[in-house]
């Protein structure tokens, strides 16, 4: 990221002109508003808040740098397959974990649960990245390209068409499966509009995706060892109801500037203890919660209404770009980012994986330049 940011700033100085878009301007406005709560007197330790704000600004700088290169469609045809290759690599590792590895393996993979996590060491982070690869694969298969797609890229597309549905079944991630469904629904108008399924390659893609889904369902209900999560997981919200409810209570107590950046854990613990009934009946697994499993809630709990306005500006920037595209194409642009964005509202993938953050920035820049 540092190298790309440096090259982008050099390109800006060299061209003596800043390439800016409405999305970039709104992103920077939102980012600057999100830094304002750092000035709040309620912050006791800046070291708890600094890294997250620094990562946000670094992401904005990377986004700005990418736009300075005036990346053409032809260059994106090389960059998107690179992300695709990362997803294929993770998928292959996931398939090896599920079908090949034995107890006591070199990856310390838990074969008893047998829910593939790739190199991310967390199943839902793996699922959202696989779903992102699935979205890119579907996009590249649907959209007409300036140059014919190479045989290598076609192979990657077909590999991911098969492996993504399979893994999204056997990992059994609720968020990942929702993301995969969102990708398909968002892409459906463009599929119908362009009659994409009439092409032989796209028929092969769809056939392999269907085969992958069936293979995953068969594997999940066959002799393959592993944890089988029941259908009740789709009806049980788990601890999130209590987490979200008490987070809203914290917001009500400090609605304007929040509890202070970096102080979610202490504010939530105090609220959780205050609401315990009887007083000593705290849930130990939640008592030391460091993140509300919802990125929007984290910023608003710590930064209040000011942070919420910053988040709205970020959302407005992306929506502005989507609305400037033909509606079917805009939905596909949303589909590309949906897996990671949805995951940020149920967990905290950007704190597990820097790759998710960089990938999200690249995809936002792709939609903008498109």
- Tell me: the pLDDT tens digits for 309-339? 999 999 999 999 999 999 988 999 999 999 9
Q: Could you read off the pLDDT of 215-254 as tens digits, one per residue?
A: 999 988 885 666 666 556 666 666 778 788 888 888 988 8
Range of the domain at 170: 77-238
Q: Could you read off the pLDDT of 130-160 as tens digits, one per residue?
A: 999 999 999 888 776 666 778 898 999 999 9
Residues 230 and 248 in one domain: no
Residue 278: pLDDT band (50, 70, 90) is low
Interatomic CA distance for residues 107 and 245, integer angstroms: 38
Say if CB 169 and CB 216 are below 8 A apart: yes
Residue where a domain stops, chosen among 218, 238, 258: 238
The answer to whether position 250 is within a domain reads: yes
Say if CB 182 and CB 338 are below 8 A apart: yes
Interatomic CA distance for residues 348 and 307, integer angstroms: 17
Q: What is the mean pLDDT of the chain?
A: 87
Q: Is the pLDDT of residue 19 over 70?
A: yes
Q: What is the pTM of this model?
A: 0.92
Interatomic CA distance for residues 250 and 230, integer angstroms: 34
Q: Is the pLDDT of residue 284 over 70?
A: no
Number of domains in the chain: 2
The answer to whether position 14 is within a domain reads: no
pLDDT of residue 280: 58
pLDDT of residue 295: 95
Residue where a domain stops, chosen among 215, 238, 261: 238
Residues 101 and 111 in one domain: yes
Residues 92 and 230 in one domain: yes
Q: Could you read off the pLDDT of 160-215 as tens digits, one per residue?
A: 999 999 999 999 988 999 999 999 999 888 888 877 777 888 889 999 999 999 99
What proportion of the chain, given as a percentage, has pLDDT over 90?
51
Residues 290 and 229 in one domain: no
pLDDT of residue 279: 55
What's the rounded mean pLDDT across residues 83-96?
A: 95
Which pair of structure tokens corresponds to residue 168? Answer: 């999204």
Residue 102 phi, psi (nearest 5): -110, 165
pLDDT of residue 195: 76
Report the candidate in 328, 359, 327 with the shortest Cα–Cα distance to residue 344.
359
Residues 66 and 179 in one domain: no
Report the candidate in 17, 3, 53 with the shortest Cα–Cα distance to residue 299.
53
The answer to whether position 10 is within a domain reads: no
The answer to whether position 60 is within a domain reads: yes
- Least confident range of 95-99, 194-198, 366-370: 194-198
Residues 58 and 123 in one domain: no
> Which are the contacts of 309, defined by CB distance < 8 A and separation ≥ 6?
33
């Amino acid at each position: 990221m540092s190298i790309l940011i440096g090259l982008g700033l050099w390109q800006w100085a060299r061209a003596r002109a800043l390439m800016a878009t409405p999305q970039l301007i709104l992103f920077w406005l939102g980012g600057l508003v999100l830094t304002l709560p750092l000035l709040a007197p309620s912050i006791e330790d800046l070291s708890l808040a600094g890294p997250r704000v620094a990562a946000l600004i670094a992401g904005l700088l990377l986004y700005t740098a990418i736009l300075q290169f005036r990346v053409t469609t032809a260059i994106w045809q090389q960059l998107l397959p690179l992300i695709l290759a990362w997803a294929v690599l993770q998928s292959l590792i996931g398939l090896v974990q599920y079908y090949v590895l034995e107890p006591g393996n070199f990856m310390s993979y838990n074969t008893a649960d047998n829910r593939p996590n790739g190199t991310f060491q967390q199943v839902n982070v793996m699922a959202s990245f696989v779903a992102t690869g699935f979205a890119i694969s579907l996009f590249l298969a649907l959209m007409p390209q300036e140059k014919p797609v190479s045989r290598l890229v076609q192979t990657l597309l077909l590999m991911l068409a098969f492996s993504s549905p399979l893994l999204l079944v056997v990992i059994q991630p609720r968020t990942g499966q929702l993301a995969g469904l969102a990708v398909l629904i968002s892409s459906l108008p463009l599929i119908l509009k362009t009659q994409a399924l009439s092409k032989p390659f796209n028929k092969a893609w769809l056939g392999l995706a269907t085969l992958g889904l069936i293979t995953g369902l068969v594997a999940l209900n066959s002799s393959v060892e592993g944890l089988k999560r029941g259908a009740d997981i789709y009806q049980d919200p788990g601890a999130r109801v209590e987490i979200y409810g008490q987070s809203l209570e914290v917001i009500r107590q400090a609605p304007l500037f929040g509890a202070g950046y970096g102080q979610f854990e202490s504010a939530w613990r105090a609220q959780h203890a205050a609401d315990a009934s009887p007083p000593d009946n705290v849930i130990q697994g939640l008592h030391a919660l460091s993140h509300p499993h919802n990125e929007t809630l984290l910023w608003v709990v710590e930064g209040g209404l000011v942070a919420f306005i910053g988040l709205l500006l970020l959302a407005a920037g992306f929506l502005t770009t989507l609305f400037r595209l033909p509606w079917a194409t805009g939905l596909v642009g949303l589909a590309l980012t949906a897996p990671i964005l949805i995951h940020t509202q149920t967990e905290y993938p950007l704190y597990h994986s820097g790759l998710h953050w960089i990938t999200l920035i690249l995809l936002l820049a792709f939609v903008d330049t498109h």
